Structure 1
Amino acid sequence: MPVGRQPLESRLWPSGGAHLWRSGGTSSAHSHPRGHLVYAARGVLSVHTESGTSIVPANRVAWIPAGFTHHHRAHGDTDMRIEFLPASLARPLPGHPAVFTASGLVREVLLTLSGARNHDRGARNRYRAAHARLRRVLVDELQEAPEQALQLPEPRDDRLQAVARILYDNPADNTALAELGRSVGAGARTLSRLFHDELGMTFHEWRTQLRIHHALVLLAEGHDTTRVAHASGWANPSSFIAAFSTIMGTTPGRYRSGSPGNVRQRAGLHEPQPHP
């Protein structure tokens, strides 16, 4: 279980909250009786559950159903928003953790629902009906949004776990599956079958997903595209840009410069100050 760190600043209310995290900030493992949406208005979040890890950059929103034990980690200084959904409203959403594209409308609704209107009880009461309508719009939008391939499933088989640990430690490792298999005592055919049957993807797809996760973290830390490409396992930046664009729908450069911008004022939270 991770040891949690307190966020720099938090505001909480019955339907959600807003937290500012330093890069590397990690919550303790916990669960909620209601399903909730997690959005990084700035920075990148990873959301960890027993079934896998979801990466949530600023153009995605994560859904965590009720009762799922999870913890969050911030990559880069991160403005994290949470919106709880009542069970009746959450029914159309998946029964498993998922990541969706955050359209412009979804972003604006989430920012409004997690903004300054919630900072005192009187304001929450005045906007109660409006917020209920916005939550219905939010769920309608997410029902139309396809699930994104940003969840990295967690292996259960001991041999897959051993392979995964090697690549978690070094996502740029280009060792072939057959050679990895020799180091963990399993043949390439066996491992290929396990990746397909247990994780629902090929070894190449899983490793690419892991590398994109790593790349998102490095981009959030401010590294340039060439450095990120090499650190994530691509021999040249053009191959990395192509793979990143296929999964993320935009180039690394546009992603880094085009994330939703100055939203801190909407939360009424302060900009994290540099370390002294």
Structure 2
Amino acid sequence: MYAAGGVLAVRTERGTSIVPANRVAWTPAGFTHDHRAHGHTDMRIVFLTPSLARLVPDRPAVFLASGLAREVLLALTGPRNYDDDATGYSRSARSRLLRVLVEELREAPEQPLHLPEPRDDRLRAIARILHETPADNATLTELGKAIGASTRTLSRLFRNELGMTFYEWRTQLRVHHALVLLAEGHDTTRTAYACGWANPSGFIEAFTHIIGTTPGRYRTGRQSTTPTSRPGKRPPSDIRQRRS
């Protein structure tokens, strides 16, 4: 699943991936998932054969699309695939393009955009609070008191179950919310405060560390690189679920 423009949220039982423009979300076969588009989104979907799917991770992941991967994805989902007046790709040509795409994904840097879903009831309670109010600045100790768990226990659960600290998990959750707000047209300052940062500079630093560019450049780049052809365009409220 490729976000040529806008932002996609892809959710599986493993967690949620936020997919900003020019990223590719990979969901292996067997993972029930749903996705939602935020903002003016151009969504492209490509399916891999089992032989090619074995060459990429067996878990949900998000990759940065190279220039070549982007052009292959646009070609595989462009007018030649649905316009009767355009000469379509032959089966062998599509097979070669898919092979190029897989090779590019194998070389692409994986993006830290997957937010793991807690399984422990105590962590799930904390996740529910912070998803509903990402600006909540309560400490782990304060959240622990609210749900009846010690700080030490919660810290251990975050490390063992989610593979990150509470601070890292909450920062990633906030960046997820920030991407949605930016896609919906909010500016950097409003987004920073809505997601719990005390000032825009702290938000810019955290956003840049995870996304690789500043919020302002991300918004400008997203608007300027969106293709004019939108065969995969979906309205913001569209949610579809499929089992690959």
Asked if these proteins are the same fold (TM beyond 0.5), I'd say yes
SS at match of 2:185: coil
CA deviations over 1:40-77 (Å, ceiling 9, x no partner): 11210000000100001112110000111000111112
CA deviations over 1:97-122 (Å, ceiling 9, x no partner): 00011122211111111100101578
SS at match of 1:265: coil
Residues 81 and 89, structure 2, Cα contact 8 Å, conserved in 1: no
CA distance in 2 between partners of 1:118 and 1:245 (Å): 36
Residues 135 and 194, structure 2, Cα contact 8 Å, conserved in 1: yes
Matching residue of 2:242 = none
Deviation at 1:270, TM superposition (A): 10
**Code of the aligned partner of 2:146:** S
Structure number with the bigger relative contact order (C-alpha 8 A, sep ≥ 6) is: 2
Matching residue of 2:216 = 253
CA distance in 1 between partners of 2:234 and 2:38 (Å): 18
Deviation at 1:129, TM superposition (A): 2.4
Matching residue of 2:62 = 99
Matching residue of 1:198 = 161
Alignment of 1:35-114 (within 5 A): 38-114=1-77
Matching residue of 1:22 = none
Residues 115 and 268, structure 1, Cα contact 8 Å, conserved in 2: no
Q: Identity across aligned pairs (percent)? A: 69
Q: Which of 188, 199, 215 matches 2:151? A: 188
Residues 117 and 127, structure 1, Cα contact 8 Å, conserved in 2: no
Deviation at 1:86, TM superposition (A): 0.3
Q: Which of 98, 110, 113 matches 1:135? A: 98
Residues 264 and 270, structure 1, Cα contact 8 Å, conserved in 2: no
Q: Compared with structure 1, are the counterparts of its residues 157 and 143 closer, same or farther at alpha carbon in structure 2 (3 Å cutoff)?
A: same
Deviation at 1:271, TM superposition (A): 10
Deviation at 1:269, TM superposition (A): 6.9
Q: Compared with structure 1, are the counterparts of its residues 199 and 244 closer, same or farther at alpha carbon in structure 2 (3 Å cutoff)?
A: same
Residues 5 and 22, structure 2, Cα contact 8 Å, conserved in 1: no
SS at match of 2:73: helix
CA distance in 1 between partners of 2:232 and 2:146 (Å): 52
Q: Compared with structure 1, are the counterparts of its residues 125 and 172 closer, same or farther at alpha carbon in structure 2 (3 Å cutoff)?
A: same
Residues 116 and 268, structure 1, Cα contact 8 Å, conserved in 2: no
CA distance in 1 between partners of 2:85 and 2:53 (Å): 26
SS at match of 2:34: strand
CA distance in 1 between partners of 2:135 and 2:234 (Å): 36
CA distance in 1 between partners of 2:150 and 2:119 (Å): 17
Instruction: Indicate whether 1:208 and 2:171 are aligned.
Output: yes
**Code of the aligned partner of 2:53:** A
Q: Which of 122, 144, 155 matches 2:118? A: 155
SS at match of 2:98: helix
CA deviations over 1:77-97 (Å, ceiling 9, x no partner): 211110000010111101110
Further displaced range: 118-127 or 96-105: 118-127
Structure 1: 5+ residue stretches without partners: 1-37
The count of corresponding residues between Structure 1 and Structure 2 is 235
CA distance in 2 between partners of 1:59 and 1:247 (Å): 15
Residues 111 and 267, structure 1, Cα contact 8 Å, conserved in 2: no
Q: Which of 204, 209, 227 matches 1:263? A: 227
TM-score by length of 1: 0.81
How well do the aligned residues superpose, as a CA RMSD in angstroms? 2.0
CA distance in 2 between partners of 1:197 and 1:266 (Å): 42
